[in-house]
Structure 1
Amino acid sequence: MTTYRVPFENGESEFTEKRSRFISHIWRVETEAEARARIEEMKKRYYDARHNCWCYLLKEGGVVRYSDDGEPQGTAGQPMLNVFQREAITNVCCVVTRYFGGVLLGAGGLTRAYTKGAKDALDAVGISTMSLWTVWDVPCTYPLFERVKLEIAACGGVVRDAEYGADITLRA
């Protein structure tokens, strides 16, 4: 059984750093198109913001993308991405919107602020562990029925259904 970690739900958080307002949004996404749609949605919603920095990671194909959206290179998208990589989170899209407050934060300040934005959003929604299961149809005779059920359980499987006929087919 393969497991992976994703955001528990969609959500947002907000904080102010030296008069700049940071609004973070996080979503669980399955496709690149879905991630891009969320990013575009935030760009339209916060069209008057100075920056809409984003990142996303997808399990399928190992897709990883990010953007600093005009902030100095390496101060926004990559630090946000690092939050999710450190926590081993996948199928996630995060946008942190910044309304400039008139005080320059510097490269270190920006990196800390965008990292905090991504971390706060993840903390607000929580983490869920997903499991990939393989479904098997297991044929057996009636005398072996109980033994096969025990073997399936011993391997960590779960019998989901049984079809009774001349023999039994267990769906596990």
Structure 2
Amino acid sequence: MAAYAAPAGESRAEIREKGSVFLAVLGPAADEAAAKALLAGLEKEFPDATHHCWAWRLGSPPRERSADAGEPAGTAGVPILQVLRGAGLSDVMAVVVRWFGGTKLGKGGLARAYAAAAREALQGLPVVQKVPTARLAVEVPYEKMGAVKRLLRPPEIELEAEEYGASARLVLAVHEERRDALREALAELGIVPGEK
């Protein structure tokens, strides 16, 4: 699987449209719980807002979800999501907070305003390239530790965690495209990894 772009931090941008204020916040979200936490934080930070509309893309290939949060169907969440898609981002949560300014924008106006706010926040978003990674849990007899450690090839294959008891329990982080080769190499040593 190919590398993909993901946020390295948070970005905020505000636009105004016919009296309404749209504050877009884009930030990293490794999973759905992190996306929900970002949304909950903004709802708490801006309890007086009229709407908290959002979209997220997670993983590779990306899973996607969006919500209009009380706006007419298709006028908020989907336009925000389209901005994220267009930027090729994943592991990202975008929330656009709106304060109604007294003038209705219509469906087209709403969609354009939500997308414009998300695009504006995108301009200041720090981005990193991520490689899809799997985690393998292995139990290694001590006499085979040297052989297993020789399989490590940072950054493609890294030791993420280790615990010692009757044998060593290791968690290996491996780029997806190297996972099968690592499984085969471990099998040659008589070690059967499990997914973590």
Q: What TM-score bracket applies, with the shorter chain setting the length?
A: 0.7 to 0.9
Give the alignment's Cα RMSD to 1 decimal: 2.8
Query: Superposed, which structure 2 residues align to 1:156-171 within 5 Å?
Result: none
Question: What residue is the counterpart of 1:102 in the other structure?
Answer: 102
CA contact (8 A) 2:32 2:58 kept: yes
Normalised by the size of structure 2, how large is the TM-score? 0.65
Q: Deviations over 1:71-115 (max 9, x none)?
A: 000000011001111221100001100000001111111000000
CA contact (8 A) 1:23 1:98 kept: yes
Q: Percent same amino acid among aligned pairs?
A: 35
Q: Distance in 1 between matches of 2:106 and 2:133?
A: 47
Q: Distance in 1 between matches of 2:33 and 2:101?
A: 32
Q: Runs ≥4 in structure 1, deviation > 3 angstroms? A: 131-134, 136-139
Query: Superposed, which structure 2 residues align to 1:122-141 within 5 Å?
Result: 122-132=122-132, 137=150
Query: Superposed, which structure 2 residues align to 1:36-47 within 5 Å?
Result: 36-47=36-47
Question: What residue is the counterpart of 1:167 in the other structure?
Answer: none
Q: Distance in 1 between matches of 2:133 and 2:59?
A: 16
Question: What residue is the counterpart of 1:31 in the other structure?
Answer: 31
Structure 2 residues not aligned, in runs of 5+ = 135-148, 159-196
Q: Deviations over 1:22-43 (max 9, x none)?
A: 1111111101111101111111
Normalised by the size of structure 1, how large is the TM-score? 0.74
Q: Distance in 1 between matches of 2:133 and 2:54?
A: 31
Structure 1 residues not aligned, in runs of 5+ = 140-151, 161-172
CA contact (8 A) 1:7 1:122 kept: no
CA contact (8 A) 1:20 1:100 kept: yes
